[in-house]
Amino acid sequence: MREQVEQALSKIRPALQRDGGDVELIEVTEDGTVKVKLSGACHGCPMAALTLKQGIERALKKEVPSVKEVVAVN
């Protein structure tokens, strides 16, 4: 599943990078939780939570149905 998540993130990453941010995959747990680290302009941005849930999580769930949740780690 990690490889599928990496592939899905590679589709999302260009949009984040256009705004000066990025996302790094930290871990994919057996229960379907994906842990990511937001960096660049995304780290500390007031809209980061919205980007995480409505952007990254939504896209990952669409591409990889076994993803249950996406959480940010520091």
Does the structure show a pLDDT above 90 at 59?
yes
Domain 2-72 has CATH 3.30.300.130: yes
Nearest-CA neighbor of 42 among 20, 74, 26, 10?
A: 20
Does the structure show a pLDDT above 90 at 1?
yes
Contact status, residue 36 vs residue 25, Cβ threshold 8 Å:
yes
Q: Which residues pair with 38 in a beta bridge?
A: 23
Tell me what percent of the residues of the chain surpass a pLDDT of 90.
95
Domain boundaries, the chain: 2-72
Local confidence band at 44 (pLDDT 50, 70, 90 cut-offs): confident
DSSP-derived 3-state class of residue 1: coil
Does the structure show a pLDDT above 90 at 65?
yes
pLDDT by residue (tens digit) across 19-30? 999 999 999 999
| Percent composition of the chain: helix, strand, coil (DSSP 3-state, to 5) | 45, 25, 30
Sign of CA pseudo-dihedral 11, 15, 66, 43: positive
